[in-house]
Amino acid sequence: MSVGTTMRWMGRSARNRAEVVGHQMKDRALEKRVERASDEADRLRFENELLRDEVTENRSEHSRILELLEKRFSAPQEIEVEVEKKSHKGRWLLFLMALGGGAYAWMKNRSNGTGSTDEWAGHPGDTPTTTQSGTSTL
């Protein structure tokens, strides 16, 4: 409903003035809305710029972190090879068995096959005899 239709009982000039005043009020209200929208747009632009700056900082920080992680994950393969040591239990057991076998063979050789425990160590009275060529034999 416009101002002109509600003011039928007044004169034409009053109606015209009322319509002008109504248009002015609408214009002022529209200007205020446009001004608020402009202020809101400026505020949103400022926030958008701040968010863009933050996003670019985060992206650069994320890329830096990813580079560090890639460096870290590429380097440990060499370290893992050094850290990972193989067990030498089998070698040690083989060495001990060879040592024991050598000692057993030496004792058997010293015992001359008789099986006596005194014979393998030799008798204190036994002295090596010298042959004509100058070598000693047992």
Token reading at 69:
């992680």
The domain segmentation of the chain, as residue ranges, is 3-81
In this structure, are residues 118 and 109 in contact, taking their beta carbons and an 8 Å threshold?
no
The pLDDT value recorded for residue 137 is 56
Return mean pLDDT, the chain: 79
Q: Does residue 55 have a pLDDT over 70?
A: yes
Q: Are 15 and 4 in contact (CB under 8 A)?
A: yes
Q: At residue 33, does pLDDT exceed 90? A: yes
The model's confidence at residue 135, banded by pLDDT at 50, 70 and 90, is: low
Taking only the tens place, the pLDDT of each residue in 76-109 is: 555 555 556 777 778 888 999 999 999 999 888 8
Say which residue, 82 or 62, is predicted with more confidence.
62
Question: Can you give 18-42 as a three-state secondary structure string?
Answer: HHHHHHHHHHHHHHHHHHHHHHHHH
pLDDT value, residue 64? 92
Report residue 116's pLDDT band, with 50, 70 and 90 as the boundaries: low
Q: What is the pLDDT of residue 41?
A: 96
- Residue given tokens 């060495």 in the structure block: 95
